[in-house]
Amino acid sequence: MKAPVQMSSQPVNGQPMKGVEAGVRSAVSRREFLGTTAVAGAAAILGGIDRRVFAAVPVSELLSKNAGQVAQMIRDKQVTAVEVVQACYARIDEVNPKLNAVVAVCRERALAEAQLADEALAAGKVLGPLHGVPFTIKDSFDTEGVVSTGGTLGRVGYVPGRDATVVARVRKAGGILLGKTNTPEFTLGGGARGTYNLVYGQTHNAYDTVYTPLGSSGGAGAIVAAGGSYFDIGSDYGGSIRLPAHVEGLAGIKPTYGRSPRTGHIVGYGGPFDNFQETGPLTRSVDDLYLILSIICGPDNWDAAMAPVPLGDPKRVDLKKLRVAWYTNTGTVEASSEMKAMVKQCVGYFSSLGCTVKADAPPKLKELGDVRQEFEGADDRDHIRRLLEKHHTVQASPGLRTDGKLLPSADFTRLCEEMDAIKSEQLAWFENYDLIICPVMAKSPEKIPVEFARTPAAAAALGSFCGEYNTTGWPAGVVRAATSKDSPGLPLDIHVIAQPWRDDVVLAALGYIESKTGGWKMPSI
């Protein structure tokens, strides 16, 4: 294994941590993170940023670009990769004490890679479509030489010897890793507080820090929205890409099950819950969703569920011919008036194109949700306890559920059969449509609660429209479509779903909505 990359980490909200969290942070800093010389050297480089960097491109303008635009600017030599990395770190240093989104950085390596990228370009060599573009990665993904905790105490000092597949593919395409972003324990343990764990603490929303960033890709969403990183890659087990994107005004996609490998993710693949988990990008533009997804997708000869299905070009989708279904009530969850208005607004965009539009929903949404909920707890959540044991974690984060109801194997089999039967019925229904439009959540974002667990009534009121599409495996994406009045100033995303393997239709629809609404807007943090 290579020597660990020297690291530094930020305190929560700029304040010292207490209790267990302080002990963990202190121990981690001593053993793995602090590289005094490296950090000091990087700081010296950054110190001159306002005096000499970006004479042609203002920093604020550079940080508001999307990944594809910055890649082109670097290739055109309007700005260097070193300058872009410096700008991102300066922005992270500015906003992260308020957000606690980036939990570890690898400045020395990132600046060295940026220098190599600039030298390669000077020699006429382009490293790939992301040449010199900085990015962050959710801490649930392994990163070679960079600490990867997955939000669990047992992995506080764990440094992988290789990158997760999606990380390796982005770096091979020329991307430069800035650091890791916060996630709840095993991506499953944030509870009502969204993104929280005992290793790094609470992450906050970039548009208003008293609000939740949701999860589990909450750190990813917050720092990309705040302009500190051009994109991140998340994982989505029940909305964990789409929910943070929703409350941070980003574009995000959970691709079709089988498109993007999970190799190197702390909750990976295999077993009875295999098809719930997908990996995909969080970006500031829909163009970037297509760019990043095209880089990370495809079999890696390890994740056995991956299929060699080509990713279609969204520019070739004829939007006028789409048959659109829309709904705002699942039978369990009903959207607020604000969310209903946003759905109808977006449906109107497609009506104006001449699309066939109908108020309709997949059958048995409530039943599918009920069966999956029972299914996930059918082993008494022993799969969670096995994760804790595997990673030598003695104390779990308070939001991590370890309760369930142990069912006989016959009942477990019955639940599998019931889920499959409903999925088949829904797939037959989808033959009549090309696109579904619905909310991401039933109501606008909430403030970070003190509690980790919600009452059943509170959970139903907040309700997600995401999990059913992890169960079916259909591609689902989100993009900013409005600004909330119920949670003043916070962004709201719309949710679109297409038939299996038609990720191009999702991307085309998101791009069209983005053209109408303007998409992501830089927060004032």
pLDDT in tens, 141-166: 999 999 999 999 999 999 999 999 99
Question: Of 136, 122, 135, whose CA–CA distance to 75 is shortest?
Answer: 122
What Cα–Cα distance (Å) separates residue 258 from each residue in 34, 231, 255, 361, 475? 39, 22, 8, 24, 10
According to the model, what pLDDT value does residue 269 have? 81
**Distance (Å, rounded) from C-alpha 356 to C-alpha 294?**
29
Q: For tokens 């770190």, name the residue.
A: 89
As given in the structure block, the two tokens for residue 31 are: 């053993």
pLDDT for 490: 97
Considering the entire predicted model, what is its pTM? 0.91
**How far apart are the two ends of the chain, measured CA to CA in Å?**
39
Amino acid 57: pLDDT: 84
d(CA 505, CA 477): 10
Q: Give, for all 525 residues of the chain, the pLDDT tens digit.
A: 334 344 444 333 333 333 333 333 333 333 333 232 233 333 333 333 443 445 478 999 999 999 999 999 999 999 999 999 999 999 999 999 999 999 999 999 999 999 999 999 999 999 999 999 999 999 999 999 999 999 999 999 999 999 999 999 999 999 999 999 999 999 999 889 999 999 999 999 999 999 999 999 999 999 999 999 999 999 999 999 999 999 999 999 999 999 999 999 998 788 999 999 999 999 999 999 999 999 999 999 999 999 999 999 999 999 999 999 999 999 999 999 999 999 999 999 999 999 999 999 999 999 999 999 999 999 999 999 999 999 999 999 999 999 899 999 999 999 999 999 999 999 999 999 999 999 999 999 999 999 998 777 677 767 999 999 999 999 999 999 999 999 999 999 999 999 999 999 999 999 999 999 999 999 999
The candidate with the shortest Cα–Cα distance to 518, out of 491, 489, 488, is 491
Instruction: Find, among 358, 341, 309, the residue nearest to 501 by Cα.
Output: 309
* Active-site residue list: 138, 216, 240
Cβ contact 170:138 at 8 Å: no
- Sole residue written with tokens 């477990």: 412
pLDDT at 18: 33
How much is the pLDDT for 462? 79
Bridge pairing between strands 176-181 and 102-105: antiparallel
Contact present, 266 and 489 (Cβ < 8 Å): no
Three-state SS for 343-407 is: HHHHHHHHHHHCCEEEECCCCCHHHHHHHHHHHHCCCCCHHHHHHHHHCCCCCCCCCCCCCCCCC
Residue 79, classed as helix, strand or coil, is: coil
Residue linked to tokens 């942070």: 25
Widest distance between CA atoms in the chain? 70
DSSP 32: I
Q: What is the pLDDT of residue 97?
A: 98
Residue pair 38/111 in contact (Cβ under 8 Å)? The answer is no
Q: Which two tokens stand for residue 365?
A: 């949404």
CATH node for 12-517: 3.90.1300.10
Domain boundaries, the chain: 12-517
pLDDT at res. 459:
74
